[in-house]
Amino acid sequence: MTSLSGITPSGRLTLGNYLGALSRFTDPDGFFFVANLHAMTTKHDPRRLATLTRECATLMLAAGIPPGAVFVQSDVPTHAQLAYLLECTSYVGELSRMIQYKEKGGRPMTRASLFTYPCLMAADILLYGAQRVPVGGDQDQHVELARDVAVRFNREYGDTFVVPELHKAALATRIKDLANPTAKMNKSDADDAVGTIRLLDPPDVIRRQIMRAVTDSDNEVRHDEAAKPGVTNLLEILAACTGGDPAQLALGYSSYGDLKRDVADAVLAVIEPLQKEYARLATDPGAIDGLLAQGRDRALAASEPRLQAAMRAMGLAGCA
């Protein structure tokens, strides 16, 4: 099964992005990309996007994702090309029902790309023939759309795409904001948000943030998401970093201070080697370019035949 996953460079990557995504991107046959085209659906700053794209790609390489598996979406033009073909097979009605558009769109100055980006996401998936797309609950609707588009395309223009199955990921760790532990930790939060741990922040800043994490007033270390979201989040982080079970780990603590100290140690034991490798790679921009070119070439080679097949099926002249 081909693994495929993207990270949108909508902010500096967080501990949540590492534990929930980067650290799981281990399939040497997979395709892992910086989804920079998806970062342009709302007003954006071109220089910041370029910086975040490079930082995200370098972090993916530093995290040990197999070389050749990492690429930048805009370097592989098949994504945008197939997205246009899929826009030509999608309906205004179904795109209007997408949650992001309903929440953020519908105004005269809404970018058209916020309306059509589900077609780009369908292209990301369909280009590589991914059969099972593991997603968190917030992405179900996108995979459903990719399925609908693939079924319709195959019916109208001939069998071209593998219809992906919606594959509910096993309960994925959802790292919460340290200052607001009922909300997810998001990379697009303000750069100075105290509850967001950034992978490239100095270790002393990260330690301070963890020591100041919001808990509660009863000082009992217990895994109970509803009653104790802050403590539960710390236990989840500790478990994700050390490979333990959060409820079991709770039994070893009688004070929040001890728990926080161990969480800080465990997080830094994961982040410091990552930062070291990032710094090493960053000294050689040419080598990073080379690795990304390798990923680009492999993604192009893997996706081009399906794009060509879709073009032929739709009757576009001049394609091989």
Query: So which residues are the catalytic ones?
Result: 104, 184, 187
Shorter beta-carbon distance to ligand AQP: residue 175 or 213? 175
Shorter beta-carbon distance to ligand AQP: residue 175 or 311? 175
Shorter beta-carbon distance to ligand AQP: residue 190 or 320? 190
CB of 26 to ligand AQP, least distance (A): 14
CB of 159 to ligand AQP, least distance (A): 30
Shorter beta-carbon distance to ligand AQP: residue 10 or 81? 10
Q: Residue 206 pairs with which residues in a beta bridge?
A: none
Please, which contacts does 182-185 make with residues 24 or more away whose CB atoms are closer than 8 Å? 182/229, 184/16, 185/14, 185/15, 185/16
The closest residue (CB) to ligand AQP is 20
Q: Residue 32 pairs with which residues in a beta bridge?
A: 5, 70
Shorter beta-carbon distance to ligand AQP: residue 11 or 230? 11
CB of 20 to ligand AQP, least distance (A): 2
Shorter beta-carbon distance to ligand AQP: residue 89 or 105? 105
Q: Which residues bind ligand AQP (CB under 6 A)?
A: 5, 7-8, 10-11, 14, 16-17, 19-21, 136, 173-175, 184-188
Q: What is the CA radius of gyration of the chain?
A: 21
CB of 267 to ligand AQP, least distance (A): 13
* Exposure of 207 in the CB half-sphere (CA atoms within 13 A): 11
**What is the rounded distance in angstroms from the CA atom of residue 234 to the CA atom of residue 213?**
8
**What is the rounded distance in angstroms from the CA atom of residue 141 to the CA atom of residue 84?**
20
